[in-house]
């Protein structure tokens, strides 16, 4: 998978059907040569050519035709003739400068994939899955070193990158910028667009594409979380790229905190794509001998459009990111009481919902916010994780006994990273929140953020949670985070380290989750941050499903789930059927449509089953049975997006089994019209040589007729209508 040519010291990384190539040039600079469809290892030095240009100085000892300002580089620095955005910036307190010159100092090839210290990252659990290349760059004056780690995976068009920054000198250094990845492309910016996923609470991960232009285009988070506003992903796409055609170069950061994803086009039209920890409000003191590890960036290339990129990432994340314990295990069908009761519930009410849930085939009751402290609204008790005996008289033990007696499992909501001013924990330890002394501090949702950078804070919250989890038969935890960071400061850090707080916080969250998953391996964690405010690969490493959005409206979810599926497998998207009018948008949609939209995610319900009509309960039985029938297909299948809700009045997608013998197709019409012509929906991913039976009928289609002709769409007769087709190959 890794080929090295020693005559010019070139590195060829072959991952699936993709090649990534680099070279050490005569000046000792590590240059980027190529990233694209697989090619054989041969001389590509002409791709890393450099030329002089006006107002681009020449490094010491080089002729006037050599400048870093036009050289495609692997880990660029600023101030030694490259005026573009650097990947790293190092402040040297001894002389106040930020100049380093990173020259090649060595390399090594490693079997498999090394674990990143303190950070979640993709895995290579089986021998032969992956191979890694570590290249060391060194600044001779300071002794500062960067070890660039590249891993290639035999079966996937994916390369992962990260950087380990080491102070190999005798003086302290201050990191001001430490990105995970930087790639320079050939100067043809007019051929590309900049793609990202952006939105807000209840409207997460909309697709945005804009033509590349000279200057900077970027997305970022300064909120202490990857955020609803932007996902830690950027891509360059060829102009005209569609679902199935066009080249896509994507970067997804395995990180849950402040990030930057940027594309810069220089004066010659050369794009530079970068991703990593946001340099804004970031600093890290490196004493002699200390190292800093950047998060991992996942690089994916597709020559088959956005659909090809998505399927490549889905397959890769299922096998190399999600927990092996859960990746192939069907998720429990849950009933969550939040939209059913909000804070107004008792043991008897929850058990009444559970009783009805058991009758329709639901498998788990998840008790949401309000079971602890004296929390009758969202203004108290975070940090006091003890049951409220006024509403749960027998505690969680009694609730668990009654729920499990009805054949259901029990899940529980926590918000471990937060603290209410009205809580015993806050009164005992007011300095345990993120804060700046002398500043009053802002509130969000009447709560502060706990300082998870501090081991004693993590220890206390873990102690409380572990006691709860051991007191009752809890097999599911919904882990929420309902405000972002302000006044980011830690009482445990000295002044010169305060800009380390946000990253140390994330390291603390990861440390907590490592311990949690180690001590409670059979508990399934569902991630949540006001819905989809922390939907990123790092959280998926620990939480194999995430509540996709607090907006459960089926029509809103068309865009939310479509955008999320660009990167993340459907099996990770938690999606529920909820009451109408919908609590977020007030829309009334058919029960069948709500079920079809939710069915292709981690499925469940967000309603009061005791108030459902007999007809609705019958519909739920059918939906539950359908999900159980299709569960394995939804876990393992390939996604093909057929119609986009972003540019049409409809949405359609299908999931196809790896052997192409089975498919589930879903179609949703948003607004109806009258006097329309007959229309078909062409499918994708099927075997044209096979024949497929439409489940529930005797109708048999040829694979090629479904691919090139399609299935008949229902005649539009009302708004928000949906339809599903289940196709199975005929022997």
Q: Distance between CA 506 and CA 93 in Å, rounded?
A: 27
User: By the 8 A CB rule, do 454 and 434 touch?
Assistant: no
Alpha helices in 116-256 (DSSP H): none
For every residue of 33-76, DSSP letters joined together read EEEEE-------GGGG-----TT----TT--TT--TTS--BSS-
Select which of 69, 139, 480, 608 is catalytic.
480
User: By the 8 A CB rule, do 562 and 554 touch?
Assistant: no
Tokens for 542? 């620990």
In angstroms, what CA-CA distances link 408 with 325, 575, 576? 21, 19, 18
480 is annotated as an active-site residue: yes
Say how many CA atoms lie within 13 Å of 50 toward its Cβ.
28
Tokens for 575? 């999606």
Q: Distance between CA 4 and CA 681 in Å, rounded?
A: 48
- Strands in 691-694's sheet, in edge-to-edge order, are 638-643, 650-656, 662-669, 722-730, 691-694, 700-702
Helix 455-471, helix 395-405: angle, nearest 10:
50
Instruction: State how far Cα 55 lies from the chain centre.
Output: 41
Q: Which residue shows structure tokens 């674990």?
A: 115
608 is annotated as an active-site residue: no
- Helix H or strand E encompassing 103: strand 103-111
Q: Distance between CA 537 and CA 208 in Å, rounded?
A: 20
Q: Are strands 680-681 and 711-712 parallel, antiparallel or unpaired?
A: antiparallel
Instruction: State how far Cα 65 lies from the chain centre.
Output: 43
Q: Distance between CA 618 and CA 333 in Å, rounded?
A: 16
Largest CA distance in the chain: 84
Q: Distance between CA 633 and CA 637 in Å, rounded?
A: 5
CB neighbours (10 Å) of residue 34? 18
Q: Distance between CA 128 and CA 727 in Å, rounded?
A: 35
Q: Distance between CA 121 and CA 317 in Å, rounded?
A: 11
Select which of 550, 553, 608, 638 is catalytic.
550
Q: Distance between CA 344 and CA 390 in Å, rounded?
A: 12
Tokens for 106? 């060595």
- In 3D space, the residue among 387, 545, 405, 392 whose CA is nearest the CA of residue 477 turns out to be 545
User: By the 8 A CB rule, do 638 and 687 touch?
Assistant: no
CB neighbours (10 Å) of residue 687? 16
Instruction: Say how many Å lie between the first and final Cα of the chain, rounded.
Output: 38
Q: Is 193 exposed, middle or buried (0-12, 13-18, 19+ CB in 10 A)?
A: buried
- In 3D space, the residue among 522, 418, 527, 416 whose CA is nearest the CA of residue 478 turns out to be 527
CB neighbours (10 Å) of residue 171? 15
Residues with catalytic roles: 480, 550
């Amino acid at each position: 998978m890794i080929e090295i040519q020693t005559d010019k010291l070139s590195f060829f990384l072959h991952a699936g059907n993709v090649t990534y190539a680099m070279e050490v040039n005569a000046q000792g600079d590590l240059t980027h040569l190529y990233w694209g469809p697989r090619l054989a290892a041969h001389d590509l030095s002409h791709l890393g050519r450099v030329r002089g240009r006006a107002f681009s100085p020449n490094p010491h000892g080089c002729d006037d035709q050599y400048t870093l300002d036009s050289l495609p580089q692997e880990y660029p620095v600023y101030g030694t003739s490259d005026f573009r955005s650097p990947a790293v910036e190092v402040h040297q307190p001894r002389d106040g400068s930020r100049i380093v010159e990173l020259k090649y100092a060595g390399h090594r090839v490693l079997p498999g994939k090394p674990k990143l210290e303190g950070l979640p990252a993709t895995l290579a659990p089986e021998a032969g899955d992956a191979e890694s290349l570590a290249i060391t760059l060194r600044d001779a004056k300071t002794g500062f070193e960067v070890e660039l780690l590249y891993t290639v995976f035999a079966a996937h068009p994916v390369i992962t990158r990260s950087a380990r920054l080491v102070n190999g000198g005798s003086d302290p250094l201050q990191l001001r910028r430490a990105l995970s990845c930087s790639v320079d492309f050939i100067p043809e910016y007019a051929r590309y667009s900049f793609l990202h996923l952006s939105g807000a609470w209840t409207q997460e991960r909309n697709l945005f594409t804009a033509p590349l232009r000279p200057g900077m285009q970027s997305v970022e988070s300064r909120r202490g979380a990857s955020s609803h506003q932007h996902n830690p992903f950027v891509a360059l796409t060829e102009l005209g790229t569609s679902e199935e055609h066009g080249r896509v170069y994507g970067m997804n950061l395995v990180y849950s905190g402040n990030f930057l994803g940027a594309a810069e086009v220089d004066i010659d039209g050369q794009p530079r794509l970068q991703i990593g920890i946001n340099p804004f409000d970031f600093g890290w003191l490196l004493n002699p001998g200390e190292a800093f590890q950047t998060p991992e960036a996942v690089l994916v290339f597709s020559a088959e459009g956005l659909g090809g990129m998505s399927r490549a990432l889905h397959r890769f994340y299922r096998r190399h990111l999600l927990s092996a314990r859960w990746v192939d295990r069907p998720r429990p069908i849950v009933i969550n009481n939040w939209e059913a009761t909000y804070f107004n519930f008792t043991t008897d009410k929850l058990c009444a919902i559970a009783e009805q849930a058991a009758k329709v085939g639901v498998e788990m009751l998840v008790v949401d916010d309000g079971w602890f402290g004296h929390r009758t609204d969202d203004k108290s008790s975070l940090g006091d994780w003890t049951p409220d005996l006024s509403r749960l008289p027998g505690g969680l033990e009694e609730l668990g006994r009654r729920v499990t007696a009805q054949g259901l499992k029990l899940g529980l909501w926590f918000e471990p990273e937060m603290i209410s001013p009205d809580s015993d924990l806050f009164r005992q330890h007011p300095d345990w929140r993120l804060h700046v002394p002398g500043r009053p501090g802002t509130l969000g949702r009447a709560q502060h953020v706990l300082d998870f950078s501090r081991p004693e804070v993590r220890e206390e919250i873990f102690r409380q949670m572990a006691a709860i989890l051991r007191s009752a038969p809890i097999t599911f935890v919904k882990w929420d985070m309902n405000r972002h960071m302000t006044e980011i400061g830690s009482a445990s850090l000295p002044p010169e380290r305060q800009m380390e707080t946000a990253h140390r916080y994330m390291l603390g969250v990861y440390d907590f989750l490592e311990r949690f998953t180690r001590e409670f391996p059979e508990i399934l964690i569902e991630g949540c941050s006001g819905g989809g405010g922390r939907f990123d690969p790092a959280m998926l490493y620990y939480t194999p499903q995430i509540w996709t959005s607090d907006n459960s409206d089926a029509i809103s979810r068309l865009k939310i789930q479509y955008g999320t599926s660009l990167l993340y497998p459907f099996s990770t998207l938690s999606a529920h059927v909820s009451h109408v009018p919908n609590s977020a948008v007030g829309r009334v949609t058919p029960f069948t449509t709500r079920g079809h939209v939710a069915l292709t995610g981690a499925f469940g319900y967000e309603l009061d089953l005791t108030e459902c009509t007999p007809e609705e309960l019958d519909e739920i039985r059918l939906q539950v049975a359908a999900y159980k029938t299709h569960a394995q297909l939804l876990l393992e299948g390939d996604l093909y997006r057929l119609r986009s809700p972003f540019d049409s009045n409809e949405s359609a997608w299908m999931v196809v089994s790896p052997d192409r013998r089975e498919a589930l197709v879903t179609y949703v019409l948003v607004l109806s019209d009258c006097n329309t012509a007959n229309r078909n929906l062409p499918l994708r991913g099927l075997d044209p040589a096979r024949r497929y039976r439409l489940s529930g009928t005797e109708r048999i289609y040829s694979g090629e007729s479904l691919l090139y002709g399609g299935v008949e769409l229902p005649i539009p007769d009302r708004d928000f209508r949906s339809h599903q087709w289940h196709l199975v190959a005929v022997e």
